[in-house]
Amino acid sequence: MTTLATKSMIAVAVLALAGEAVYSYHQAHRAVGFAETAGTAGAATTKTTQDTPINACALLSDEEVSAAVGAKVTPAERRDDGEVGGKGDYAPPGTYSSTCFWRFANEAVDLDDPNLPMDGRRFAILNAMVWPKGGGYAAQFLQSFRDAFEHQIIPAAPIALDGIGDEALWWGDGTAVRKGDTSFGVSVFLQNGDKASQRKMEEALARKVVGRI
C-alpha cells in the first residue's frame, strides 16, 4: 500500500468511528497533509434497502444500547456511506460502509457546547465495513489505528483486546474489531472525559456485535 493510501486509510479509519460528530473530512485530510476534497462526513447517503451487504442498525438493538450506556437512547438512525470502494485511496471496489447512530434521550438543550462533538450531546455510534474477500483489508483497517498514533492523528496508542473477534483494539475513543472480511467500530461519547466508563460500554457493545457477524 502506498504512503498516500496508508494515510488516507488512517484518516478514514478515524472518521468511520468518530463520524461527523467529531471530525470533518476537511480536518482529517488536513491532518495528514491532503488537499481538501468536496463534502464532509455528514454528506453520507443513507441506504435502507435490505439487499445491502451489512446493516449496522441490525447489529444492535436500541434496548441493548440503552442497557450498555445506562440511559434511554433515541431510536437508531441509519446513515450509510454505502459503496465506498474506488472513491478514495483507502478502499478497493466492493467495500461497503454502514453506520448506525443513537442519541441519549432527553438531553438538556441549554447545555449545548459548540466546542464539543454533537454540541456536547451524548451519543453512541457503530460503523461496520464489509471488505472484498481475501484481501486482508479488515486487518489493514485495524492497523490504520496504530498508524494513526504513529502519525499523531490520535493521541493514545491503541490497546489490544482479547476475546473479541479475530482481532480487537481500543483506541481511546472507541473499540475497533475485525472478523473475517468485516470490520466494525463502536464509540460512546459521554462528553465528560470519563474514558474508562466509555471503554467499558464500548467493549460490552462490541462483544454483542461480533456474535452477529
CATH of the domain at 38: 3.40.1000
pLDDT at residue 140 above 50?
yes
Q: What angle do CA 156, 154, 15 make, to 5 degrees?
A: 135
Name the residue among 52, 182, 190 with its Cα closest to residue 127: 182
**Ranges 6-20, 56-70, 143-157: which has the least confidence:** 6-20
Number of folded domains that form the chain: 1
Cα(171)–Cα(188) distance, rounded to whole angstroms?
A: 12
Cα(160)–Cα(168) distance, rounded to whole angstroms?
A: 6
**Domain range for 39:** 3-210
Do you know the residue count of the chain? 213
Cα(73)–Cα(167) distance, rounded to whole angstroms?
A: 29
pLDDT at residue 32 above 70?
no
What per-residue confidence (pLDDT) applies to 85? 80
Global pTM value: 0.79
What per-residue confidence (pLDDT) applies to 115? 74
